[in-house]
Amino acid sequence: MFSDLIDQFRQTYQNKYLTLSEFSNILDQYARLDIRCDLDDNVKEQLYKFIKEKQQNVTYCALETVIIEFLLQQDVIQPKSQINLDSLGKCARKLPLDMLQSITNDFLLQFKNFYKLVANKYVSIVDYRELERLGKELQRTIKINSLEILRFIQPLVDNQSKVKIDEILELSNDLEKLLYEQNRRQSKGPETKRPIALDQSADDNHYTSEDENLKQNNFISNASIERKNLTNLIYQQTDLIKQKFINKAGLPCLSEINKTTQCIEALIANLIKEVDVKTKKIEELIIEKELTSGSLQQFEIEIQNKDQQIQLCLQDNDMFQSQINQILDQNKELKIQLNVYNEELKSITRLETELKEMQIENKNNKDQLIKMNKENSRLQLNNKSLMGIIEELESKSLQNKDVDILKKSLEQHKEQINELEIKVDDLQIQIQQLEDLNQDYEKAKEGLEQQIIELKRELTYYKKMLENTNIENQQLRNSFMPRTSILNSQQMNGGGFGRLSKMSIGGGLTSSKIFIIGRNSSQRVSSIRGNQQAMYGSNFNPLEEIQSVPLKIEEAQDLDDQNPDQQNNNNKQIQIQSRIGARINLKYENSIVEAIKEENEDKEQVFTVSQKPQENQLLQQFDKFLGELGTKNLEELATDSQCIKIDENILYYRDFLGIRDDPKALEYLKLEKNIYKQIIQRCFSDGVYRIDAKGKKARRILFLTEHTFYIFEGEKKPGKLSRSFPLKNIHTLIFSEASPVICCIKVAGSDDYLIETFKRSELNSFLTEIFASYKIPLFQVEFISQFKIKFKGVKDEIPISQVIKKQTNQDQGTTPTYKVSSKQGLYSQNMGWLQIFKKKMFQGDWQEVFVILTNVGLVLFKKPGDAEPILFISFVEAIVIKNPSFETSKQYIIKIRYENCDSEFVFNATSAILLDQWHDAIQNAIIEQVKQKLQYMVHQQKQVVDHRTQTMMDQSESQNHNNKLS
């Protein structure tokens, strides 16, 4: 019924502006079907004025959206969280509380992206009408909820209908702070707030139900009231008759009277039903009459409006043609000016290149002049010495008068001078070679010194490990426990189905097994079944776990702030360090094994007689248990009551890179498992850019467990460990207000760590959950635009503005990465790294690209921050396939192919969760595009039908007019 009424109104009020009377009439028709649409006249006038101010005129589409989105959602009751007004900023205090209570992470991200677009397009002040126009375009093209964003910006408008961009930035920062406080309050005490909200919602529902009952009681028909009055009169008369005719003679009369009364009641009920049917028909006829009268009036008004529009269009046509001619003339002039400017630019670029070449030649000439001056000075000194020798010889020649002898001696001296000059040149070449060798020796010396420092660190590390093992060995000697007690209390790594499972060996002890459900569970179960006999034989030693696992995790060396030359030297020295470390580890492990064997031999000599039969029984029971466990199917394990089920979606919830199963990550998870004895180990991973004191960037991988913060080198997979520290040492997180991606992590007793990440809020939420679960004092979160960072190797703290300035100087005028990345993030929330398959002649290759999902296709970049994309993949007539039949070693594959052509694109994701997210997002975008295409086709068909009907009506009117004239 409600949908039929809406269709009627759409047909009658299409392409028409509503008056106040029509507006109130439509609301009254809605109120007959739904009581929530029953409004007072004052409220109707206010609603009509509000829509007219926003859209300049009131249409039926606007009224329908208001009714559906606001009036019909009155029964939705959301729990309201308490807000501390003193903690709000200046801009946030201008907003009402109900708007502040409805903030979400998605809305905050859209608000930030809207601010970045406005800040890049305008300078400092924007007109509010421009913002409304921009919001309508974004809502039509990119599907951003710009109307809700403009509701938050509207209180910032001044008297001149203008908005400051700085105030929008302050408002976004205030909203982010408010959202952080709400999340923190929920993590502290979610259990105390729920019952209050439930009580409030229950009270509100109670009041609404009472109001509805009162309204329903008021709408009781008059026919039912009359029917009750008649029945009461009949029963009163029967009671009087019974009192009068108590004797037996009056009993048949009473029976007849009762029969007549029953007949009368049946007739009255039938009459009442007929009356109700007739009243319903009358009401329907009245509604149809009103609708037809309204439609006739609307048709007349539409005819008048169309006549006026035709006249206006004819008047405007001439004006538009004159304007088009003027624009064409201006376009020709602009083309001529552009050609002139291009020629001038070409000449300017040619002159600039010539100037650069001349400058380079001048520098070379200056260097040559300096060298020539030095040589001239040296030759002048040689000439002076030679002139002195010549004068002495001339004096001697005058004395001796032996001219021939002097000439011969002069020739000999000249030859000697030439030979000396040649020797001097050779000596200079040898000096340069020696200087180069000296530099090489100094570099080698620095590398050897660094090796010595690292070896010393390793020695101290292994000394500490030896101390810990000695202490544990002493504890084992003091405890002097038999082998059976160790078997019953020791945790076995890999036992049961899952990591860190506990199994007991013995008749009277209970066994608890772990069965992991989720992704790749079947593969893990099959691998465990096949290797049971290899892992646990009859000669099982529970102390092997102590031998193979180190007992202490030392903090890794921080390599982020080293120079590139030092990093290259470190890469050259990895082989030597690995050999030395392997040699030391073997000696250490052999020493521990020998000590444990000696202890076991001493214990076995004491308890051999008493414990041999017990050990044999335990081993037999253990082998029997493993044999029964190997014969069980996956379905039997799933229904086993002793099996602990773990959903791995919890473990991979924030593993955005899918590196939980990487060998290095598993190594560190195994260490923490043995230390903290945990079954479920949550983790976080993300690819970031590390920024150093010089403003240089480098790709890093963050891997967070529930206890430790690991930082690895690498882009796709974790490489060398760069830095690590405990999570509890984090005391402050700084979020830059100047950029939505820059984050600084301050660690107690260590240097700060400056990164650029797209998942800043996810990192904050993960850390708050971990701190709340372990009841650790929460770290501080600061939202500031200017702050100082403590880098390694630098005495004084450096402000963030200085680091960004160095970064822009290195880019040589190009836009920084975080600005371009934030612009790219405006168009979609789905973006990240994927691998694309490139076909070649005989084989293919996988290339890593940065992908952004839009509503029309995929945009591919070499790296985040590039202004120009390398490829665009359209969604027109596209089909997305998850895990297709494709010959490759990759696991998480997505294929995009087209219906009318053979071209296709193959991608690979880093994890199964990202595979599902990308597949769902691409599929939703394709479906949305197909829906828009169908809507557009339907709209075109409607326009064609309307045009035909209009032409038919015009022809009929012209014929009638001709008939009247004739």
CB neighbours of residue 730 within 10 Å: 20
The DSSP letter of residue 889 is S
Per-residue confidence band for 628, with pLDDT thresholds at 50, 70 and 90: low
Report the mean per-residue pLDDT for the chain. Answer: 72
- pLDDT at res. 615: 47
**Closest listed residue to residue 654, CA positions, set 747, 740, 746, 770:** 770
What lies within 8 Å, CB to CB, of 327 at 6+ separation is none
Give yes or no for residue 714 having a pLDDT over 70. Answer: yes
pLDDT score of 732 more than 90: yes
CB 130 within 8 Å of CB 98:
no
Which has more pLDDT, 145 or 161?
161
Closest of 208, 274, 246, 188 to residue 768, by C-alpha: 188
Q: How far apart are the first and last CA of the chain?
A: 49
What is the token pair recorded at 885? 């039949």
Please give the biggest Cα pair distance in the chain. 197
> How many other C-beta atoms lie within 10 A of the C-beta of residue 254?
15
Q: At what angle do helices 817-826 and 105-121 cross, to 10 degrees?
A: 120
| Amino acid in the structure at residue 147 | L
Integer Cα distance of 552 and 550 in angstroms: 6
Report pLDDT for 234.
Answer: 60
DSSP conformational letter for 245: -
- Burial string for 941-960 (b: 16+ CB within 10 Å, else e) reads eeeeeeeeeeeeeeeeeeee
pLDDT at 700: 92
Is the pLDDT at 632 greater than 50, yes or no? no
Per-residue confidence band for 651, with pLDDT thresholds at 50, 70 and 90: low
- Angle at alpha carbon of residue 489, lines to 486 and 490, rounded to 5°: 75
Residue 194 or 875, more confident: 875
Residue 580: is its pLDDT beyond 80?
Answer: no
773-794: average pLDDT: 89
Q: What is the pLDDT of residue 148?
A: 81
Lowest mean pLDDT among 74-78, 507-511, 553-557, 913-917: 507-511
Tell me the C-alpha distance between 186 and 953, whole Å: 65
Q: Is the pLDDT of residue 199 over 50?
A: no
How far CA 721 is from CA of 97, 556, 700, in Å, comes to: 47, 7, 10
Block residue for tokens 């199994």: 503
Q: Is the pLDDT of residue 191 over 70?
A: no
Q: What is the pLDDT of residue 553?
A: 39
Strand 654-655 relative to strand 684-691, pairing: parallel
Q: What is the pLDDT of residue 526?
A: 36
Q: How confident is the model at residue 397 (pLDDT cuts 50, 70, 90)?
A: low
- HSE at residue 924, side-chain half, CA atoms within 13 A, is 10
pLDDT at 879 exceeding the cut of 80: yes
Which pair of structure tokens corresponds to residue 556? 């890794």
**CA–CA distances in Å: residue 7 to residues 17, 32, 289:** 17, 16, 17
Which of 494, 493, 515, 513 lies closest to 503, judged by CA? 513
- The residue ranking higher by pLDDT, 17 or 140, is 17
Average pLDDT over every residue of 808-812 = 59
Structure tokens at 693: 């004191």
Q: For 15, left (φ over 0), alpha (ψ -120 to 50), or beta?
A: left
User: Within 13 Å, how many C-alpha atoms sit on residue 387's CB side?
Assistant: 6
CA distance 879 to 898: 6
List the CATH code of the domain at 821-929: 2.30.29.30
Give the tokens for residue 577.
Answer: 């360090």
| pLDDT for residue 462 | 79
Going from the C-alpha of 434 to that of each of 420, 421, 428, 558, 565, the distances in angstroms are 21, 20, 10, 36, 22
3-class DSSP state of 835: strand
Residue 21's CB: how many other CB atoms inside 10 A? 8
Q: What is the pTM of this model?
A: 0.35
CA distances from 242 to 232, 236, 725 (A): 15, 10, 99
pLDDT of residue 354: 82
Contacting residues for 98 by C-beta, under 8 A, at least 6 apart: 80
pLDDT tens digits for 103-114?
888 888 888 888
Taking residues 415-433, report their average pLDDT.
83
Over the Cα atoms of the chain, what is R_g? Answer: 44
Tokens representing 551? 């007992």
Measured CA to CA, the distance from residue 182 to residue 88 in angstroms comes to: 12
Distance CA 155, CA 91 (A): 9
Of 207-211, 350-354, 494-498, 721-725, the least confident: 494-498
Give per-residue pLDDT as tens, 924-951.
988 888 888 888 888 888 888 888 888 8
Encode pLDDT of 814-823 as tens digits. Answer: 444 434 344 4
In which band, very low, low, confident or very high, does the pLDDT at 521 lie, cut at 50, 70 and 90? very low
pLDDT band at 642 (very low <50, low <70, confident <90, very high): very low
**Residue 727 carries which DSSP code?**
G
Q: Say what the pLDDT of residue 633 is.
A: 47
Please say if the pLDDT value at position 261 is more than 80. no
Q: Which of 249, 70, 105, 113 is nearest to 178 (CA)?
A: 105
* The pLDDT value given to residue 634: 43
Q: What is the pLDDT of residues 891-908, one digit of tens each?
A: 889 999 888 787 889 998
Confidence of residue 833 (pLDDT cuts 50, 70, 90): confident
Residue 543 pLDDT exceeds 70: no
Q: Does 178 score more than 80 pLDDT?
A: yes
d(CA 804, CA 810): 10
Nearest CA among 731, 727, 683, 718 for reference residue 704: 683
Residue-level length of the chain: 966
Read off φ and ψ for residue 789, nearest 5 degrees. Answer: -125, 140
| pLDDT level of residue 528 (50, 70, 90 thresholds) | very low
Which pLDDT score, from 0 to 100, does residue 650 have? Answer: 61
Highest averaged pLDDT of the listed ranges 293-302, 626-635, 676-685, 729-738: 729-738
Which single residue is written with the structure tokens 């609307």? 298
Query: How far is residue 339 from each of residues 172, 325, 330, 335, 345, measured CA to CA in Å?
Result: 45, 22, 14, 6, 10
pLDDT band at 242 (very low <50, low <70, confident <90, very high): low
User: In this structure, how many other beta carbons lie within 10 angstroms of the beta carbon of residue 253?
Assistant: 12
- pLDDT tens for each residue of 26-39: 888 877 777 777 77
Q: What is the mean pLDDT of residues 874-890?
A: 85
pLDDT at 755: 92
β-bridge pairing 643-647 and 513-517? parallel
List all residues 6 or more positions away from 518 whose beta carbon is below 8 Å from its beta carbon: 646, 647, 648, 649, 651, 652
Angle at CA of residue 942, ends 936 and 943, nearest 5° = 90
Q: What percent of the chain has pLDDT over 90?
A: 6
In the chain, domain spans: 2-72, 85-188, 220-252, 297-330, 369-401, 821-929
State yes or no: pLDDT of 744 exceeds 90. Answer: yes
Specify the range with the lowest mean pLDDT, choosing from 286-295, 524-533, 589-598: 524-533
Q: Among 68-82, 468-482, 512-526, 658-672, name the one with the lowest average pLDDT.
A: 512-526
Q: Check residue 584 and give its pLDDT.
A: 41
Between 130 and 628, whose confidence is greater?
A: 130
Report which of residues 177 and 809 the model is more confident about: 177
